[in-house]
Amino acid sequence: MELNGRPLPDLAAVRTPALLIDLDAVEQNISATLELLHDEADRWRPHLKTVKLGRVMRQLHERGVRHAKCATTLELETACEAGFEDVLLAYAVSGPHVADTRGIAARYPATRISVLVEDAAGLAEWRGSGLGCFIDVNSGMNRTGIPLECRQQIAALARAIGEQGLSFRGLHCYDGHAMDFPAGNARELVHQGYDALLPLLKALTEAGVRPPEVDTAGTPAFPHAVSYHEFAGLGVTHRVSPGTVVYHDRKSLTQVPATAGYRPAVVVLSSVVSHPGPARFCCDAGHKAVSADAGIPTCAVLGHPEYQPRHPSEEHLPVDVPAGTPLPRRGERVLLLPSHVCPTVNNFNEAVVLAGGVVQGVERVTARGRHAPLG
């Protein structure tokens, strides 16, 4: 078996299904992202829900990436441990999560931590914490946030943040709906979305609450976001937040330029366990190993474009082959490239890390899951 043109070491002792991370490919993917950003590492606020491992977070930090965002308090804690100077918890927290976040901020005073808000009612619980606030703006995904056309409401919330003694640090405008844009005019549609933000920024500036930063762009919008420069003309820093690009996956192949040099850095090593028919084999990588949230197929079999993964069950992945094609023998290993790598990484407690064509060891998936529900 090969991964990224390099023969894999002997993995016979590895229990499957197993998560493999190619640190050389991670390094290449970081370089590819920075190149698209014209080596402006300050513009990248990667979403760490993909990265998960403290080791890879440190790898990002060593390349000059100082800003990050995350979705859970466990990811926030791991990001602070990894040395990021500025972290946005890009998920509205409530209840015990408020105390958890305040506690993390107290333990890592050198890290500039911000939270996401969309209503003034919850601001009081952050008073005295030293935390900053990003206002969550609904720019079209219709998942969270204040509709961007509600300028007076957003301006009032920005003022309320200051009145509570908190720092207004910017707008969070996740345009994840860009994944549904036709490839031929995705750039135009992404830029149209940002053009729609300009009147809001101007209104906030006139109201005396200009946001220092606008955070946009997961992986689907990222290639188009980097060429948009209008926010800078208003004195607003535009940061982008692709996270999937660090590891890459099957979906990303259609979302980033083929010439950018991205490589699959994460694969699932799986074993053939059965031959249920003359044109089908079954692997031990059901949806508890390779996430099914992106639909079917959940993955591609590297080196075998003719193999067609079908609907998985919890521990089984049926794979069809063309009639007359020899089936891989029982016990043979295959490499699966996930369609969606982020939740796939979250399926594993540990990862086997490779570098220089050899196994470097086993690393804990540090930020997998969440903090314990009690205690």
148-157: pLDDT as tens digits? 999 999 999 9
CA-wise closest residue to 19 among 330, 312, 369, 354: 354
User: Which pLDDT belongs to residue 107?
Assistant: 97
pLDDT at 253: 83
Query: Distance between CA 199 and CA 206 in Å, rounded?
Result: 10
pLDDT number for residue 183: 87
Low-confidence ranges of the chain (pLDDT < 50): none
Give the DSSP H/E element, type plus range, for residue 70: strand 67-70
Query: What pLDDT shows up at residue 9?
Result: 94
pLDDT, residue 259, reads: 83
For 220-246, what is each residue's pLDDT tens digit? Answer: 999 999 999 999 999 999 999 999 999
Q: Which residues of 270-299 are buried (b: 16+ CB within 10 A; e: fewer)?
A: bbbbeeeeeeebbbbbbbbbbbbebeebbb
Instruction: Label residue 256 exposed, middle or buried (CB < 10 Å: 0-12, 13-18, 19+).
Output: buried
**pLDDT on residue 257:** 82
Query: How far apart, in Å, are the Cα atoms of 329 and each of 283, 298, 303?
Result: 11, 22, 16
- Phi/psi-derived region of residue 322, left when phi > 0, alpha when psi is between -120 and 50, beta in every other case: beta
| CB-CB contact of 113 with 105 (8 Å) | yes
List the domains of the chain with CATH numbers: 1-23+247-367 (2.40.37.20), 45-241 (3.20.20.10)
pLDDT value of residue 60: 98
The answer to whether the beta carbons of residues 335 and 1 sit under 8 Å apart is yes
What pLDDT score was predicted for residue 165? 95
